Amino acid sequence: SQTIHQWPATLVQPVGSPLSLECTVEGTSNPNLYWYRQAAGRGLQLLFYSVGIGQISSEVPQNLSASRPQDRQFILSSKKLLLSDSGFYLCAWRESILGEQYFGPGTRLTVT
Amino acid sequence: SQQGEEDPQALSIQEGENATMNCSYKTSINNLQWYRQNSGRGLVHLILIRSNEREKHSGRLRVTLDTSKKSSSLLITASRAADTASYFCATDEGANNLFFGTGTRLTVIP
């Protein structure tokens, strides 16, 4: 069966510091991978998605970037965090464009 | 782009009662997916219903889809305290993205 991992679970970082969040998927090959952000009490906003190694599409201009160095690894990064980057970050995957999409447990980021 | 909108925003019921949540959207879709999110946790996939389907069941969950009205409903029968969570619908237009609403917050009172 497939499993998706995210770490860390929680993170408190000062403004201006770098960020690296990691997501890995097990039990599948060549998944579509996604990064979402959820603000408190809000829906999900798609940040990035990837259909293959090195292929990244950005949905929203922002202070963040994403990379996919391996087939089942997706990384969300920032060189300098802003207060507005605080939120709940969720990684997701699915095998095909029209299939079920599954989410990881999320990372709670607080920028102070 | 378009986004699903859930209704009501919040719902409070007694344990054992049924809970119905609705989702409306604006454009044609390939499928619609329902998710549950417990406070501070990730989203759990509940059901996917395709545009050519009208109803699907999974345990105590029943989902309907009316493409002519661009709406879907999620029914939870015989609710339990453990069903307390936020429920989201997500529409899939086939553009490699799901569009999420802001969710319905369900509280089941023991």
How far, in Å, CA of A31 to CA of A71, rounded?
A: 8
pLDDT > 80? residue A61: no
Q: Tell me the C-alpha to C-alpha distance, in Å, between residue B57 and each of A9, A102, B21.
A: 33, 19, 15
Q: Please report, for the domain that includes residue B56, its CATH number.
A: 2.60.40.10
**Residue B74 CB contacts under 8 Å (≥ 6 apart), including other chains:** B20, B21, B22, B23, B34, B46, B47, B61, B62, B63, B87, B89
Question: In the prediction, which pLDDT does B1 show?
Answer: 46
Residue A51: band (very low, low, confident or very high) from pLDDT cuts 50, 70, 90: very high
- Please name which of B15, B2, B97 lies closest in space to residue A49, comparing C-alpha atoms: B97
Closest Cα in chain A, distance from residue B25 (Å): 14
Q: Which two tokens stand for residue B106?
A: 């369900």
pLDDT at A16: 97
- pLDDT of the residue at B94: 77
Distance between CA atoms of residues B38 and A48, nearest Å: 24
Total structural domains within chain A: 1
Smallest Cβ–Cβ distance between B100 and the set A32, A43, A57 belongs to A43
The confidence score (pLDDT) of residue B2 equals 52
CB atoms within 10 A of CB B35: 24
For B33-87, write each residue's pLDDT tens digit. Answer: 999 999 889 999 999 999 999 999 999 999 999 999 999 999 999 999 999 999 9
> Is A103 close to B35, i.e. CB distance below 8 A?
yes
List the CATH number of the domain containing A36: 2.60.40.10
Q: How does pLDDT run across A24-44, given as a tens digit for each residue? A: 999 988 899 999 999 877 789
Mean pLDDT in chain B? 93
Three-class SS state of B48: strand
Tell me the C-alpha to C-alpha distance, in Å, between residue B12 and each of A47, A77, B46: 32, 39, 20
CB A28 within 8 A of CB A35: no
Sign of the alpha-carbon dihedral angle for B77, B9, B49, B71: positive
- Structural domain containing residue B18: 5-109
Residue A29's domain comprises 3-111
Judged by a CB distance cut-off of 8 A, whether residue A44 touches chain B is yes
B101 pLDDT band, cuts 50/70/90, is confident
User: Which residues in chain B have their CB less than 8 angstroms from residue A33's CB?
Assistant: none
- The closest alpha carbon to B43, from B30, B32, B33, belongs to B33
In whole angstroms, what is the distance from residue A14 CA to residue B104 CA?
33
Q: What is the pLDDT of residue A110?
A: 96
Contacts of A63 (CB under 8 A, 6+ apart): A78, A80, A81, A82, A84, A85
Region of A72 (left: φ > 0; alpha: ψ -120 to 50; beta: rest) is: alpha
Nearest-Cα residue of chain B relative to residue A31: B96
The mean per-residue pLDDT over the stretch A65-83 comes to: 96
Q: How confident is the model at residue B93 (pLDDT cuts 50, 70, 90)?
A: confident
